Structure 1
Amino acid sequence: MSGDRPSPLVIERILRDRQGIWQQIVADRDLNALTGRMLASSAIALACYGAVLGAFHSPLMALTSALKLPLLFLVTLAICLPTLYLFNLVFGARLSVRQSLALVMVAITVTSMLAVAFAPISLFFLITAPDYGFFKLLNVAILTLSALVGLRFLTGGMQVLNDHGLLAPEAAQAQAPAQAVPAAVPAGAVPAAVPPAGQVAEPVAVPAGAAAAGSVGTVPNGTAPDAGSPAQVPAQVPAQWSGQPAGAAFPPGMLPPGYPQPHRPWANPPVRREPTQRPASMTLLYIWILLFGFVGTQLAWTLRPFFGDPGQDFAFFRSIDGNFYAEILRTIANL
């Protein structure tokens, strides 16, 4: 699917054409429209899933959870995005604010869409097993799994940007391989044409008298060149060949001085380069992911309730006491 022909559903394009998404972010092309579509899709999906969470208590709680769950993700993004952008700038990355926002929005979109895909399962257990502790742990597990998949997309996108040199420009510019220097041609000699690729030159026969007199030998094809032909053997033949009898052939693979070696692509296999060191931006990305998780869980605890304890009356917010992790451990102990 082409990046210029977007799918009606942005999540479908992300899942089917993720390379096109990464290339669009790398090129910084039409990111405002892409980010807007991801923002709208994420908000709708999270609102639907939040309504399922609040339905455990009452319809009013379902409405408030539908409002608070998208707010949770977007406020967490607003808090943590400047840190990600400044991390990249400090360590030499060339990401713009729009590129950073689009990358994180890809992760949030995948997370929200995967969570809403689990909504029928959550609703099934809400109807068949209405236990508050189990329902709360089930949905925390669903959101955790969805977030891990979304963050996997984030790290994949950052790796693509690293391959394009946007995270570590100095490491992305590989040194150009040294150009081969042509061998020096002896004075008075004109090098012969190089045989075509894949053709091995035949042994060259040099008559005994010709070596002493400096006459012309046989060209690699085995045919004598015409007078004045550029394919001539140099006048001076090494002494180790001067005593050879007439018709003696050079060993295979050896040519008289002045003849360039035939092209043998198999003789010089490509050199395997060592993988480049992971740039600091990738390491800081994992630190930022942990930071994003801590900020998100603390904000979720601040914005609670999302489920609504059936033993308590409706409240838009609860008092801030305890923390998210202590509550999860307490719920597990009470199962």
Structure 2
Amino acid sequence: MTAAAARPVTSSASSNGYGAFLTEILSDRDRFFTEVAEDKGLRGKLVHALWTLVGLSALYGAATGAYASPAQAVSSALKLPLLFLGTLAICFPGFFVIQVLVGSRLRLLQVLTLVLGALSLSAILLAAAVPITVFFLSTGANYYFLTLLHVVIVLGAGLVGMAALHDGLASACEKRGVYPKKAMTIMKVWAVLFAFVGIQMAWNFQPFVGDRSQPFQLFRHNEGNFYTAVVYSLGRLAHDEEKAPQVAPSGTLRPGVGGLLELRERSSTDSSGVPTR
């Protein structure tokens, strides 16, 4: 009798463990969103999602900064989780208030768990891409290629996370009458806003990739924007590698990772080739 009575407790405990959380996020998200909508195991899911987001995004940040130096790797490992959490802190309050105004019956802890669960999926995808970035880093890939590779990976992981949040709200929450249909449109707009805020914050947190030719800097103030920097990197990447490298004009934008852009300042030269200030 004692052993039989202990079995349900063990099963319940294991279902709330970290392994169960990873299984739900990766292959059984409908169950994850359903349990959140039904207010089951919220605190455990919230803690697991938070630690997954922080730990795995830090791992990817370290792989990103490893291009420049160990110091840059440590810096990027600290800044990338702060980027996600800072963007969430800015965007979440308005999102939750609007959800309540349009008729959502989800509590604050439920909405926060849903969003962190989606972001933890993005972090898992980033960690899964670390071997790819290490491979190109170890084979001597071009700086601009690595830059654009990181941009694509981070944006792609973010899109997958937001898509998972949208699908979860639609399939698990809306069916139970706790999340109205008109709120789905607001969620899509919020996802776009989240991306724009994240890009701007990434710009302020740069550098992430770092530049081997420059001393380590924790933060670097740059002018310009993410989009012009990506265009510049695409142009440089398209150049024939056999041609002699041309010196970029003063204030040339150089991108880092996921919108994490770097401005490489070069001193201008006069006609005699002597640097001037």
Give the whole-Å Cα distance in 2 for the aligned partners of 1:147 and 1:20.
21
Give the whole-Å Cα distance in 2 for the aligned partners of 1:122 and 1:2.
39
- Write out per-residue CA displacement over residues 158-184 of structure 1, whole angstroms, 9 at most, x where no aligned residue: 10211111122xxxxxxxxxxxxxxxx
Give the one of 17, 29, 32 matched to 2:28.
17
Q: 1:109: which partner in 2?
A: 120
Give the one of 53, 60, 63 matched to 1:52.
63
Give the one of 67, 82, 85 matched to 1:74.
85
Q: Shift in Å at residue 4 of structure 1?
A: 7.0
Give the whole-Å Cα distance in 2 for the aligned partners of 1:7 and 1:123.
31
Q: 1:318: which partner in 2?
A: 220
Q: What SS class does the counterpart of residue 94 from structure 1 fall into?
A: coil
Q: 1:207: which partner in 2?
A: none
- Write out per-residue CA displacement over residues 125-176 of structure 1, whole angstroms, 9 at most, x where no aligned residue: 00103311100101111111111111111001110211111122xxxxxxxx
Q: 1:139: which partner in 2?
A: 150
Letter in 2 for 1:165: G
Q: 2:42: which partner in 1?
A: 31
Matched, 1:161 2:173: yes
Q: 2:210: which partner in 1?
A: 308
Q: Taking structure 1 as reference, are residues 328 and 73 closer, same or farther at Cα in structure 2, changes over 3 Å only?
A: same
| Cα pair 1:42 1:108 within 8 Å, conserved | yes
| Cα pair 2:50 2:116 within 8 Å, conserved | yes
Q: Shift in Å at residue 87 of structure 1?
A: 1.4
| Cα pair 1:106 1:153 within 8 Å, conserved | no
Identity fraction in percent = 38
- Write out per-residue CA displacement over residues 78-120 of structure 1, whole angstroms, 9 at most, x where no aligned residue: 1111111011111111121111111111111110001110100
Q: 2:255: which partner in 1?
A: none
- Write out per-residue CA displacement over residues 278-326 of structure 1, whole angstroms, 9 at most, x where no aligned residue: x220000000000000000100010000000222211000013111122
Give the whole-Å Cα distance in 1 for the aligned partners of 2:169 and 2:44.
20
- For the pair shown, the structure with the greater C-alpha radius of gyration is 1
Give the whole-Å Cα distance in 1 for the aligned partners of 2:204 and 2:18.
36
Give the one of 15, 18, 29 matched to 1:5.
15
Q: Shift in Å at residue 6 of structure 1?
A: 3.0
TM-score by length of 1: 0.65
Q: Shift in Å at residue 18 of structure 1?
A: 1.7
| Cα pair 1:11 1:113 within 8 Å, conserved | no
RMSD over aligned Cα, in angstroms?
1.6
TM-score by length of 2: 0.78
Give the whole-Å Cα distance in 1 for the aligned partners of 2:22 and 2:168.
15
Give the whole-Å Cα distance in 1 for the aligned partners of 2:13 and 2:194.
29
Letter in 2 for 1:83: G
Q: What SS class does the counterpart of residue 317 from structure 1 fall into?
A: coil
Q: Taking structure 1 as reference, are residues 3 and 109 closer, same or farther at Cα in structure 2, changes over 3 Å only?
A: farther
| Cα pair 2:18 2:48 within 8 Å, conserved | no
Q: 1:91: which partner in 2?
A: 102
Letter in 1 for 2:173: L
Give the one of 297, 307, 332 matched to 2:199.
297
Letter in 2 for 1:125: F
Q: Shift in Å at residue 16 of structure 1?
A: 2.9
Q: What SS class does the counterpart of residue 311 from structure 1 fall into?
A: coil
Structure showing the higher helix proportion among its residues: 2
Q: 2:52: which partner in 1?
A: 41
| Cα pair 1:61 1:307 within 8 Å, conserved | yes
Q: What SS class does the counterpart of residue 69 from structure 1 fall into?
A: helix
- Write out per-residue CA displacement over residues 61-81 of structure 1, whole angstroms, 9 at most, x where no aligned residue: 000000000010011011111
Q: Shift in Å at residue 2 of structure 1?
A: 7.8
| Cα pair 2:49 2:120 within 8 Å, conserved | yes
Give the whole-Å Cα distance in 1 for the aligned partners of 2:123 and 2:113.
15
Q: Structure 1, unaligned stretches of length 5 or more?
A: 169-278
Q: What SS class does the counterpart of residue 155 from structure 1 fall into?
A: helix
Give the whole-Å Cα distance in 2 for the aligned partners of 1:284 and 1:94.
15
Q: What SS class does the counterpart of residue 156 from structure 1 fall into?
A: helix
| Cα pair 1:107 1:150 within 8 Å, conserved | yes
